[in-house]
Amino acid sequence: MTLDAATDHKDISFAQYGEYWREIRKLAVIELFSLKKVHSFKNIREEEIGFMVKKVSQLSLEHTPVDLSKTFFSLTASIICRVALGQNFNESGFVIEQDRIEELVRDALVALGTITCSDLFPSGLGRFLDWLSGGHKSINKMVEELDAFYQHVIDDHLKPEAAGKKVVDSQADIVALLLDMMEKQGKKDYFQLNISNIKGVLMDIFLAGVDTGATTMIWAMTELVRNPRVMRKAQEEIPTTLGLNKERITEEDVEKVGYLKLIIKETFRLHPSVPLLLPRETMSHVKINGYDIPRKTQIHLNVWAIGRDPKRWTDPEEFIPERFANSSVDFRGQHFDLLPFGSGRRSCPGMPMAVASVELGLLSLLYFFDWALPEGMVSEEDIDMEEAGNLTIVKKQPLLLVPVRHH
């Protein structure tokens, strides 16, 4: 049993192309992740990043290393839980510990990226072999825990006291919006949203939203520390542009700092969170470069290799944000040299939300802090760059740096 099977293909990422997928994706693009909707959550992003800066400031007084891998993961989990689920880590009664959420996300993504016997033999034989190996037990347990978590969140929204004070507007969390749509839909509507659909959408938002944003920030900070020239240039531009006396960074500030956007593009090029994207399936027989590709063949697109292709990029292994300074290449799916979010109908609908958190999070840490190597690490070359994972690629060893408050 795989995770996408657990949602009965009711999510967006793994649903087969057809009427259902078209309707659920349209709902996500128009109602959940439009630029207007993403902007309505800016206060939550700014608030949670403010909490992160405050925690790092307290730790900077101790002059000890901060685990930025954990810090970024906590940040994206906090933002997603508030935006999507209406659940706040800073309030009592949260149903799952924050550390357990990190474990669940990691385990779920590993399960999604693992090839099972059922994938190779879709018949009963594959399921029998999975049962025999016992691998399905851990997946089932994890799926049940995630399902219980989503059900708890939905039940919490459906409580009479919640319904009594509910005002579903443009700033409502995503669960509230989906439940409101389900309540108001007519019986004759072609597309009937139900609780299973909502859980499927939550699966995508929760797993992708928490992991990919954190992973991008981790790799960006890793590359900045390994490339002091780039770090210096960023930290010279940021205070020069924004001034030295800001108490907090806002999303309006992000648009003023051009070099940061180049840094993020270069991070997407070298370290795409999902290096093979999600698998596609051919709808008909096609011929590509002389190769016959039969109908219903699973296709993987290696965006990691595209980003390091010497035929497309000069010095492809080097971290050089300036390569994008006079280039029209962007990461939104229109330029096939850079596809961290995919392209076309199957591109990631949550891209605007993810990018907004990454930009604001990185800008805040670069504005308020200098970053030093921990004791015992002689030079930037000592930073371990080993990767881990299958569906998503993370930095295997946590990124430990010492923050030095400079404003």
Binding site per annotation, positions for heme: 348
Distance between CA atoms of residues 38 and 31, nearest Å: 10
Distance between CA atoms of residues 245 and 224, nearest Å: 24
Contact assessment for residue 344 and residue 200, using Cβ atoms and an 8 Å cutoff = no
Contact assessment for residue 303 and residue 275, using Cβ atoms and an 8 Å cutoff = yes
Distance between CA atoms of residues 272 and 9, nearest Å: 25
As a whole number of Å, the CA-based R_g of the chain is 22
Annotated binding-site ranges: 348
**Structure tokens given for 71:** 């810090």
Of residues 328, 333, 330, the one with CA closest to residue 348: 333
Long-range contacts of 192-197 (CB under 8 A, 24+ apart): 193/27, 195/154, 196/7, 196/8, 196/10, 197/10, 197/24
In the chain, what is the greatest distance between 2 CA atoms, to the nearest angstrom?
68
Angle CA 322–254–271, to nearest 5: 50
Of residues 61, 328, 100, the one with CA closest to residue 210: 100
